Amino acid sequence: MSGTWANMTAADLGRGIGAGKINPVELAEAFLDRIETHPLAPRIYARATAARARGEAMAAAARAKAGLRKGLLDGVPVSWKDLFDTAGVATEAGSALLKGRTPGRDAAVLETATLQGLVCLGKTHMSELAFSGLGLNPVTATPPCLNHDKAVPGGSSSGAAASVAFGLAPAAIGSDTGGSVRIPAAWNDLVGLKTTAGTLPMTGTVPLCERFDTIGPLAHSVEDCAHLLTALSGEPVADLAGADLSGARLAVLETVALDDLRDRPAQGFEDGVARLGRGGAQIVRIKVPEVAEAMAMAAVVFTSEAYGIWREVIEAAPQKMFPRILERFRSGANVSAVDYVAAWRRLEAIRRRWAERTAAFDAILLPTSPILPPDADRLMTDDTYYVTENLLALRNTRIANLMGVCALTLPTAQPSCGITLMGAADGEARLLRLGSAAERALL
């Protein structure tokens, strides 16, 4: 495979197709060959969809030749997390509980993306039923991490991130319930977009917590994420032209998000904030005490819904699950309906308060994760280490899910240390434009 293609952004590959310099069929074959031969591919892809990719690439090539391309990414191949239904292809969500589950129809976003010309390379490994931010999955596979060969890659969109980081896909589609796009993106030096719940239809996806589940891209650039969001939604692409940080008001969230930061994530974040300031942004620091209150309710609103959705399936064969994930699901059984309803009513009030407190800012800044990717072997053998790292991994990303907003993680000068920009609910276009300017300042 051309090393150039393996390292190019999805947008640049799309421009190459549009200019007649790249044939979509040759491009798809190059990535399929890489999936077939790369030594790490079995830990990244649950299964490739070679026949589908070839057919879609041929159609894209015909459109390009006829001058009828659907958009910038028409003919660009991408990977899909193994919780998006794919017609006639197993979709098992990283779980032995769903082994052999083969849907008859594509997920809604996959249908839209196919109509927009994206080429489906295959399904990537993930955390079991998407219920872990670590990316550790001894049931199916634990994908590799770009910067740490003995570390977990982040989850639950673990294979999605690895497919892009290791050059086995130009971009990937994942899901994010509490940080599952942003953590693996950050730990593998990628850009990851968490959309607002409801922005993209979840029809045909294996659920975790339906009130929090969202879909988002992982890619090499903000531009890629903008065009991937368009391919998933069919809506116009965000305008990134001329994006500038001059006059942007950015607030560093001090409540919870800066607690217990390890040295390198702290260095990456502070360096990133300084670069954004030098790029023209006005930086202030804020506290929102209600965030701490919301975080304390996470166990109530997340685990109870997850177990409510999966209890019947899990308890029919609990021995098939990794005990740590089984334990996490079962913790939801202890939440009463009264507590669940009360927590959601309070969370909705906190969301309104958050919107009021942050309305004057273009984005809220925080470290994507307070920790570096943990050691995979130690997670399997050291109970205290597992509990500590698992709790910290998704702590910061969970804030955006609880507040009901969109968020974008960008790489910093420190490997595996991302900086997050949190936008407003339904503010993806504005956040992507700001993120494009921030991306340049962080280089």
pLDDT value for 1: 47
Are 282 and 148 within one domain?
no
155: left (phi over 0), alpha (psi -120 to 50) or beta: beta
- Is there a domain that residue 198 lies in? yes
Determine, yes or no, domain membership for 319.
no
- Clarify whether residues 81 and 156 are in a common domain: yes
**Do residues 202 and 269 share a domain?**
no
| pLDDT over threshold 50, residue 435 | yes
Task: Say if 315 falls within a structural domain.
Answer: no
Question: Is 119 a domain residue?
Answer: yes
Pairing between strand 249-253 and 282-286? parallel
DSSP class of residue 375 equals B
State yes or no: pLDDT of 152 exceeds 90.
Answer: yes
Q: d(Cα 378, Cα 387) in Å, to the nearest integer? A: 11
Domain boundary among 186, 201, 233: 233
How confident is the model over 45-65, as pLDDT tens digits? 999 999 999 999 999 999 999
The residues pairing with 193 across neighbouring beta strands, listed in sequence order, are 408
Q: Return the H-helix or E-strand segment holding 376.
A: helix 376-381
CA nearest neighbour of 125 among 211, 231, 40: 40
Domain endpoint, select from 209, 233, 257: 233
Nearest to 171 by CA among 73, 58, 48, 313: 73
Q: CA-CA distances (angstroms) from residue 320 to 84, 134, 166? A: 21, 19, 30
Q: What are the residues facing 422 on neighbouring strands?
A: 364, 407
Are residues 172 and 280 both part of a single domain? Answer: no
Residue range(s) defining the domain that contains residue 360: 249-296+325-442
Amino acid 375: pLDDT: 98
Question: Quick one: average pLDDT of 356-365?
Answer: 98
Considering the domain architecture, whether residues 227 and 84 belong to the same structural domain is answered as: yes
- Establish if 320 belongs to a structural domain: no
My answer on whether 269 and 183 are in the same domain is no
Q: What is the mean pLDDT of residues 333-341?
A: 97
Q: What is the rounded CA–CA span in Å between residue 81 and residue 219?
A: 13
Residue 243 in domain: no
Q: Decide: helix, strand or coil at residue 212.
A: coil
Q: Assess whether 218 and 274 both reside in one domain.
A: no
User: For residues 254 and 287, is the Cβ–Cβ distance under 8 A?
Assistant: yes
Residues contacting 285, CB < 8 A, separation 6+:
251, 252, 254
Q: What is the mean pLDDT of the chain?
A: 98
Q: Is residue 304 part of a domain?
A: no
Structure confidence at residue 3 as a pLDDT band (50, 70, 90): low
Shared-domain flag, residues 42 and 93: yes
As a whole number, mean pLDDT of residues 281-307 equals 97
Q: What is the CATH number of the domain that holds 361?
A: 3.90.1300.10
| Prediction pTM value | 0.98
**Domain match, 224 and 258 both:** no
Q: What letter does residue 3 receive in the DSSP assignment?
A: H
Of the candidates 202, 128, 405, the residue with the CA atom closest to the CA atom of residue 294: 405
Q: Residue 443 CB: number of other CB atoms within 10 A?
A: 7
Question: Is the per-residue pLDDT at 131 higher than 70?
Answer: yes
Count the domains in the chain. 2
Shared-domain flag, residues 330 and 384: yes
Same domain, 404 and 262: yes
Q: Does residue 303 form part of some domain? A: no
Q: What is the pLDDT of residues 224-247, one digit of tens each?
A: 999 999 999 999 999 999 999 999
CA distance 205 to 207: 6
Segment 70-89 shows an average pLDDT of: 98
Burial class (CB in 10 A: 0-12, 13-18, 19+), 151: buried
Q: Which residues are catalytic?
A: 81, 156, 180
Is the pLDDT at 2 greater than 90? The verdict is no
Contacts of 96 (CB under 8 A, 6+ apart): 139, 140, 317, 320, 321
Over residues 77-87, mean pLDDT: 98
In this structure, are 291 and 398 located in the same domain?
yes
User: For 82-136, where are the E strands, in sequence order?
Assistant: 119-124
Strand order in the sheet with 249-253: 45-48, 119-124, 77-81, 172-176, 214-219, 191-194, 407-411, 418-422, 363-367, 249-253, 282-286
